[in-house]
Amino acid sequence: MLSSRRQMKTSLRVIAALLVAAGLSIPSPPALAADARGEAAAQKSYEEGNKLLKQGRHEEALERYRAAFAVTKSPNARLMIAHSLLLLGRLAEAYDEFAATRTEAAAKAETQRQYEEARDGAAHELALLEPRVGKVVVALAEPEGARVTVNGAPLAAERLGVPVAVMPGKVEVVVEGADGATLRREADVAGGQTKTIFVAPAGAQSDAKNPVVPEPDKPEEPAKSGGGVRVAGFVVAGLGVVGLGVFGVTTGMAQSKYDTMVEECGGKRCTDQRYAATVDEGKRLDTIATASLIGGAAALAAGAVMIAVGGPKDRKAPTARIEVGPGGAMLRVGGVF
């Protein structure tokens, strides 16, 4: 309510400024393209409108301003139409008239500076009205020959597809087609909001307003990597592979020393003390190889069990198995991480 009163006071100040002229309280609108009698009648209507507006007879003033504008097409006359509508509380209509005034006055102000005040005044009022009105854009699937009303008021064909000011609340659009069929659409529009209302027969509306859009493919969920036990299983199995690798190396070294000693002793059992160190080294390597084999095999077995039961699996979860070949045992892991 406070903002409405403030805007009303602002509008009255603007109107008062427009009504001030040297020696007179009522200015005359500039003559445009009209004959002498038509110009005189327009001048008289404009002046009568000013008097009526000052008396608070806004509806009658509105009629006089419209009569003047019909002849002169002056932005000043249109600005007074907008102010009259504003004082009558017809905010949506006032908004449209202010918008038209701003456009027309801006075009004329490029060569005629007397219209700058009308341009700026209309722009100011539009800014104040912006949050107090809603807007709808009426779109028709079959506009040819259609008659349209918005909340009971006719909507001109050239205003289809462009924002039209409405009072906030429920908005009803009625379209009577060239074939006589009548379609109705409703929408709730808030102050400061712009909403498009599409009107078409049921089938056309379904296709145009609500096109079938294929659902995007859902992203594939990543494979679960398992719990902590499974991860530890891979570590233990890896240690088992290292142990088997040590077994293979040390076994090869021990066998090489044994073959060399046998060859040097002529294929017989060596009793020469100079080979005592070689025999001891062979025994040490053999012990290491045995321990590595036992530890590695145990680690591989334990790791495989931990991988198998240590966490959730799916078809892409990694798999592990022990393979024994000519080169020794190895852990083979398959799947996708």
Domains of the chain by residue range? 2-131, 134-208, 228-334
Cβ proximity of 334 and 281 under 8 Å: no
pLDDT at 154: 93
Which fold does the domain 2-131 belong to in CATH? 1.25.40
In whole angstroms, give the CA distance from residue 129 to residue 98.
Answer: 10
In whole angstroms, give the CA distance from residue 243 to residue 235.
Answer: 13
pLDDT at 198: 92
In whole angstroms, give the CA distance from residue 150 to residue 163.
Answer: 12
Residue 29's nearest CA partner among 75, 81, 92, 85 is 75
Cβ proximity of 122 and 81 under 8 Å: no
pLDDT at 311: 57
Residue 332 CA from chain centroid, whole number:
49
- The CATH number of 134-208, from 1.10.3470, 1.20.120, 3.40.390, 2.60.40, is 2.60.40
The vertex-26 CA angle with 24 and 29, nearest 5°, equals 120
pLDDT at 124: 96
In whole angstroms, give the CA distance from residue 38 to residue 58.
Answer: 24
| pLDDT under 50: residue ranges of the chain | 1-2, 20-34, 205-215, 218, 225, 314-320, 322-331, 333-337
Read off the tokens for 294: 């036992």
pLDDT at 291: 67
End-to-end CA distance of the chain: 66
Cβ proximity of 95 and 156 under 8 Å: no
